[in-house]
Amino acid sequence: MTDPTPVPDPADLPAVPSADPATDPVEAPGTTLGEAAAGPVRRGVEVIAEIVKRLPNGPGVYRMIDAKGDVLYVGKARSLKKRVASYARPINVSTRILRMVQATAAMEFVSTRTETEALLLEANLIKRLRPRFNVLLRDDKSFPYILITGDHEAPQILKHRGARNRKGDYFGPFASAGAVGRTINALQKAFLIRSCTDAVYASRTRPCLLHQIKRCAAPCTGEVDLPAYGELVREARAFLTGRSAAVKSELATAMEAASADLDFERAAVYRDRLAALSHVSAHQGINPRGVEEADVFALHQEGGQTAIQVFFFRTGQNWGNHGYFPKADPTLEPAEVLESFVAQFYDDKPVPRLVLVSHALPEQVLLAEALSERAGRRVEIATPQRSEKRDLVDHALTNAREALGRRLAETSSQTALLEGLAGAFGLAGPPRRIEVYDNSHIMGTNAVGAMVVAGPEGFVKGQYRTFNIRSTDLTPGDDFGMMREVLTRRFARLLKEAGPRPDAAAGAATTDHADEAETEASAEAVRPWPDLVLIDGGAGQLTAAQTVLAELGIADLPLVGVAKGADRDAGRETFHIPGRQPFRLPIRDPVLYFIQRLRDEAHRFAIGTHRARRSKELVANPLDEVAGIGPTRKRALLRHFGTAKAIARAGVEDLQAVAGVSESLARAIHAHFHEGRG
């Protein structure tokens, strides 16, 4: 049960209680209490000290919340009272903890029955709330799986990604869709399971090409009876659940029996299936012989950044790997970062029987218990020191080190480009957030505006935005009017949500004074206000943008219009900046290439959005615009008349003959298609 705690009035709070020697320390030595007690930190301490009085001694999860209502930190504790009390005495703690305490205006709690439940809930809340001071799993993409369906008499094998709403068995995860495709291909050769949809299955009258090339047993036309097909499916499930050796042994035994019976044709079928299984288990980089099912996590830290490589091993084979670069405070130990990462990683993914990690985790036993509870079976977490398992970890660690090296090199290159951009456009410093705007339409139809965002780590695709042009008084093809609408909507909303743009000079003056939170958060996300706005267009587009910003009261926001060169040649772009004469950059200048990449990305995104909108309109049904027509009545009308055109020509009486269409609705449909006709 959640117990939200209101923000108390600091004037009514008692003095901070004395330290309790039994309470565990929060952090490694750092700052003394004398330093911590000054100013705003004292206010946070007082808030926490008052809250502690009402806390239980049992396990649970706590959330530290700032004055705006944003969650700062999510943590779990064996004893909520002791853990939270330690924040009320910030003695010898890191600067990170001091900033957390300083910003805390309220706390919320959830009591749990066990510390294991608390750990699972903590991971779930961190992923959902993304608190500023926690280790954050930034790239939490969904992985593809293999699905063998369980809602049909002849199960189908297919690639699946997303929510598991369909009945059946899911196997994975795979690191990429390509790995899934290759595995399904080989499994079809080995087990002859169909991959066609249920609709195709029901409509077949003769075997398809897949049966001819020996990749499907063709249960659709009775080439194999359902019990025999069910045995093939059983073998495939057994193979994918890690019993590959047993399946191979069964096939080898069956092949030998067929040979002994002089049934060489049947023996050849088993031989081909065995060969296909061997192909599935063939060399894919590194394949352990003694590890059937495991995930391997390896962490490497360098230059204040963290890289984690995750390798997936199933059925004794490598199903691929994926790299992550989580946001983590540089003061945290590698083992702490890895532990938080693993807990969050399995919040929405199936857990294998074995998890190998490169660093011994602080609460490894507790995390193993939590994952076992989630999986419903025993899960082991190990830090191998020798043998083949150690080789797997070392291999993953090498990949993590190389991935972080590449990222640091790319970041260094990006930093140099941003510095060059600042010099070319006369900015106060390298921009941390660049917004690029473009429009796309065909003769004014399906007009859309697009915004792409770039920062120190490249494009920030999660912050891209599209704008369907809504103005009805715009002349078709009025690019200036479209840009005015897009910028008005964007910056009016930004003012409402983020407040006025911070003064650049004031921000530069205070950079050296403790806005470490901004520095820490910079790797996670760029700031809401842009430091530079690029407009795809020349002087006219730039003037439209200036007008919008002036009307909104936004001053000193750097604006640059990027006009295409003669004959739209890349490399001949002209740059328009308020107060300066138009100019060009040297044709081989890396900054020019960088700007072209930014502009081209905005162009690509705008065109893609426009095409999607146009395609949707092309397949739109005119019945969608009639009030009172839902999916059921639409289907009934189309079933009765055949096409929307026939419905448009129908009379009121004909429309009334359709089940579910009343006289009033029939008249509404008729009026919709005949409005304005005499």
251 near 270, Cβ under 8 Å? yes
What is the reported pLDDT for 526? 59
Rounded Cα distance, 372 and 367, in Å? 8
Q: Quote the tokens at residue 313.
A: 């091993």
Q: Which residues lie below 8 Å from residue 105, measured CB to CB, with a gap of 6+?
A: 7, 44, 47, 65, 66, 67
Rounded Cα distance, 37 and 88, in Å? 10
Tell me the β-bridge partners of 307.
300
What is the reported pLDDT for 624? 67
Rounded Cα distance, 394 and 105, in Å? 44
What is the reported pLDDT for 473? 74
Grouping H, G, I as helix, E, B as strand and the rest as coil, residue 323 is strand
> For the chain, which residues make up each domain, given as ranges?
10-129, 145-280, 294-405, 426-505+522-597, 622-674
Tell me the β-bridge partners of 308.
299, 324
Same fold, 10-129 and 622-674: no
Q: Which residues of the chain have pLDDT under 50?
A: 1-37, 283-285, 504-524, 676-678
What is the reported pLDDT for 33? 44
Which residue has tokens 């984690």? 308
What is the reported pLDDT for 282? 52
Please name the amino acid found at residue 660: G
Rounded Cα distance, 257 and 245, in Å? 18
Rg from Cα positions in the chain: 31
At the topology level of CATH, where does 294-405 sit? Nucleotidyltransferase; domain 5 (3.30.420)
What is the reported pLDDT for 308? 93
Q: Are strands 532-536 and 354-357 parallel, antiparallel or unpaired?
A: unpaired
Q: Which residues lie below 8 Å from residue 307, measured CB to CB, with a gap of 6+?
A: 299, 300, 301, 323, 324, 325, 400, 401, 403, 404, 407
392 near 296, Cβ under 8 Å? yes
Contacts of 21-26 spanning 24+ positions with Cβ under 8 A: 22/82, 23/82, 23/83, 23/85, 23/86, 23/89, 24/82, 24/83, 24/86, 25/86, 25/92, 25/93, 26/86, 26/87, 26/90, 26/93, 26/97
DSSP for 251-276, please give it. HHHHHHHHHHTT-HHHHHHHHHHHHH
What is the reported pLDDT for 342? 93
Please name the amino acid found at residue 369: E
Q: Name the CATH architecture for the domain at 10-129.
A: 3-Layer(aba) Sandwich (3.40)
What is the reported pLDDT for 626? 73
Residue 133's φ and ψ, nearest 5 degrees, are -100, 5
What is the reported pLDDT for 21? 34
**426-505+522-597 — its CATH code?**
3.30.420.340
Grouping H, G, I as helix, E, B as strand and the rest as coil, residue 571 is coil
Q: Which residues of 551-569 are buried (b: 16+ CB within 10 A; e: fewer)?
A: eeebeebbbbbbbeeeeee
Contacts of 417-424 spanning 24+ positions with Cβ under 8 A: 417/590, 417/591, 417/594, 418/456, 420/589, 420/590, 420/591, 420/594, 421/532, 421/591, 421/594, 421/595, 423/591, 424/575, 424/585, 424/589, 424/591
Q: Quote the tokens at residue 368.
A: 């193993």
SS3 of the chain: helix, strand, coil, percent, to 5: 45, 15, 40
**How buried is residue 630: exposed, middle or buried, by Cβ count under 10 Å (0-12/13-18/19+)?**
exposed
Q: Are strands 458-459 and 465-468 parallel, antiparallel or unpaired?
A: unpaired
Tell me the β-bridge partners of 168.
149
What is the reported pLDDT for 625? 67
Q: Quote the tokens at residue 288.
A: 């352990």
Which residue has tokens 């066990």? 114
Q: Which residues lie below 8 Å from residue 147, measured CB to CB, with a gap of 6+?
A: 157, 158, 159, 160, 166, 168, 169, 170, 171
Rounded Cα distance, 486 and 491, in Å? 9
Which residue has tokens 């924040």? 87
Residue 346's φ and ψ, nearest 5 degrees, are -95, 10
What is the reported pLDDT for 443? 62
What is the reported pLDDT for 243? 65
Which residue has tokens 């296909």? 276
CA distances from 263 to 42, 229, 256, 445, 583 (A): 86, 20, 10, 68, 82
What string of H, E and C letters represents the secondary structure of 581-624? CCECCCCCCHHHHHHHHHHHHHHHHHHHHHHHHHHHHHCCCHHH
What is the reported pLDDT for 515? 43
What string of H, E and C letters represents the secondary structure of 52-121? HCCCCCCCEEEEEECCCCCEEEEEEECCHHHHHHHHCCCCCECHHHHHHHHHCCEEEEEECCCHHHHHHH
| Among candidate residues 108, 152, 102, the one with its CA nearest the CA of residue 129 | 108
Task: List strand residue ranges (DSSP E) for 210-337, in order.
Answer: 294-302, 305-314, 317-324
Domain 622-674 is found in CATH 1.10.150.20: yes
Rounded Cα distance, 671 and 673, in Å? 5
